[in-house]
Amino acid sequence: MWLHEKFYDAEKLLKYNPNWVLYTITDRYAYFTLLPKPIAEYNVRNAPFLSLEQFSDALKLARMPIKDFCTFACHSLGPMKGKVIVFTNCPRSGSTLITQMVQR
């Protein structure tokens, strides 16, 4: 069951509250979860599969049309301060090992 609370401005919701974290992206929407603690507190020891923690700990869920997400990401966040690497994976594919290596 979905309950709609209200519409929010993406910049106010996401840019100024670091506890909103990208959960998943589909061909139509980007989904975010509001976590009870900052993302930096989730690590490979206490949350080896972050998406499971996001699912169980989420306080709220936000959905943004993919076109708006791309605009927001490109214009509101500004240039990255370093190189960005995106990993996508399947369950049971060695993702925990990769996470441990990157986190060190």
- The segments of the chain whose pLDDT lies below 50 read none
pLDDT digits (tens, 9 = 90+) for 56-83: 899 999 999 999 988 888 877 677 788 8
* pLDDT for the residue 92: 65
Determine the 3-state secondary structure of 6 from DSSP.
Answer: coil
Amino acid at 70: C
The model's pTM is: 0.72
pLDDT of residue 104: 65
Q: What is the pLDDT of residue 6?
A: 81
Q: What is the dihedral of CA 24, 95, 102, 83, to 10 degrees?
A: -40
Q: What is the pLDDT of residue 67?
A: 92
